[in-house]
Chains A and B, each alone.
Chain A
Amino acid sequence: MIRKNRLNKILIITSLLISIALILYSILRALETNIDLYLTPTQIESGEYNTDNNFKLGGMVKEDSLRQSESMEIEFTVTDFSKEVEVVYVGILPNLFKENSGVVASGYLDKENNVFIANEILAKHDETYMPIKIEVED
C-alpha cells in the first residue's frame, strides 16, 4: 500500500514538472514572437537593429514640425536631439499629443521614402497621466 502511494506521488510530481516545463516553454516562445522593439531615431539610423518588421518609435515631437493637411493625413518629425525621423499618420491624435513632448508611434519604416508609417500614436505619459518631458542626455 505504502509503495503504491509513493509511486502515485512520483507520478504526480513528474507530470507536474513536465507540464510546468511545457507551459514555461510556450510562454517564453510567445514572449519572443510578440515583442515590440522600442527604438529611438539614433538607434534606427545606426542600422544595428532589425527595422524590417513593425516596431515602436519613441522620441520627442519636434517643434513646428506638425503639418495637418486637409485630408486626415498628419505629418510630424520625431527627434531625439541627434537624429530625426519623419512620421506619417492618418487619424485622430490623442489629447496628450503636443509639440515638444514625448510620443510613441507604432508602425513600420518605409525604407524607400525614409518615412515612418504609423498606425497608432500614443502620447507618452507618466504614472500621473501628464505629458512627459524627455530629458536631454549629454
Chain B
Amino acid sequence: MFLRIVADSLGRRPRHKLLTGAALALGMGVATASLSVSLDVGDRLAKEFRSLGANLIVTPQADSLPLEIGGVDYRPVNAGAYLPEADLPKLKTIFWHNNIVAFAPTLEMYASVATTPDAANSPNNVQVIGTWADYPIYLSDGSTFATGINKTSPWFHIDGRWFAADAGTLKRVNVFDLPPGAVGGHTYVPIPDECVVGVRLAKRLSLHTGDHLYITYPNREDMHNYLGKPSIGCAVTGILTAGAAEDDAVLMPLVSVDRLARRGPGEYRKLYVSALTKPEDDFARRDPGTMKPDEFERWSCSPYVSSIAYSIKQVLPGADVRVIRRVAEGEGAILTRVRTLLWLVTGAALLAAALAVGASSAASVIERRTEIGLMKALGAGSGTVGFLLAAEQLLLAFVGGGAGYALGIILARLLGEKIFGAAPEPSLIVFFVIIALAAVVTILGSALPLHRASRIEPAPILRGE
C-alpha cells in the first residue's frame, strides 16, 4: 500500500514532479560540474605552470663557484666539476618518476664561430651550450621518454627544427662488401653535427637555417693539434629566440660539446629538472633531518618540490639538488590561491543549488495540505504521513541527483576540454557526494513544511477552510 501511494503520487502530477526534478537536476548539475573542476584543477594547473620551465637545478657538489652574470658563466672552461650523463635515466626510476615532466643536462663552453671553414675573422667568446632536445630515453618498461631543453624551457621559440638527437654520434651501418680481414658485418660512420643558433648571433653573422657554422678554439693551433682541421662544422637547423642569454649562443647536442670541450662523452655541468609539485606548506619546509620516522614518511610521500629534490639526490651521487625558488614559490602561491578560489566558487554554487532545491521541495509540500488532511482523516498518523512524503521526496532526489550528475559531468567535460584540452575524469566520489547532497537538501527543504503539516487538523482542511 505504501509503495502504491508513492507510485500513484508520482504519476498523478507529472508536470509538477518534472519541475521539482528539473530544479534538483540543475542544482546538482552545478554542484557536480564545479566539484569536478575543483578536484581536477590542481593537477591541470600544475601542468600549466610547467610553462615556467625547470623548478629544480642539479649541479656537481664539488663544483667551484660559478661566476655567472646575465646567464653567462665567466669561469675558465675546465674549472669546476662534472656529472655523468649515464646516471640520468635513473631519474625516471625514482618514486616520483611520474612527476618528472622533463629534464635537460647542459654543458657550456666558449669558442670562436665563423661562417667559413677556415674560421677567419670569427667573433671569439661565443657561448656554446651542449644539451638535449627531444632526446629519447629508453625506460625499463620498454617505453621511450623524450626530453630536453625544449621541454624544460618551453618559452624557447625555434624557427626551423631542433638538432637531431643522434647528430654528432656514430651510426652503425651494415657493410655488405666486407673488406678482407674485417670482423663482423658492420662499421660506424659519424652523423654530421647539427646546431641551433641564437637569434642575435644569427643576425650578427647573417646566418640562416640550412647554412653552416664553423666552431673553433680562440687559438686555431689548438684545434689543429686536436682534430687535424681548422674547425668543426655544423649544419644550422634552426634559429632560437629565447629572450635571454641563449639568444647570443650556439646550442649543440651534448656529445658534440663534450668533444669540443675535450671532456669525456656524456659529461654535463648543470641539469634542469621540471617536476610537477604540490605547493609547499610549513610542514614541507622543515628540515627532513629533524623529522620523526612517520613524519619523514609523510613528507617523502607528498610531491613537495623539496621531497622530489631529496629523491633525485638519492639517485645522482655527487650532485647538489637545489630548488629554483623563484619558480617554485611563485607557482605554489598562485596554485594555492586559485585552488581556494575555485573551492569557494564551488561552495557558493552548492549553497545556491541547495537553497533553490530546498525551496522547491518546500513548495511541493506546502501545496499538499489537502492531501495531508485527507490522509490524516483516514487514520494515518503524523509519522506515517511524514514518512510517505519523505520517501517521495527522496525518490525524486535520487532521480534528480542522478540526472544532475550526468549533466554536470558533461559540463565539466566541456569546460575542461575548452580550457585545458583535457576532460576531468568522472569520479565515483563526486557521484556519491552529489546523491547524498541531493537527499540531504530535499529532506531539509521539506522538513519544516512537513513538521507543520503534521500538526494540520484534518477537519478545517477538508471543509475547504
Q: Do A and B come from one complex?
A: no
Q: Which residues from chain B sit less than 8 Å from chain A, CB to CB?
A: none
Q: Which residues from chain A sit less than 8 Å from chain B, CB to CB?
A: none
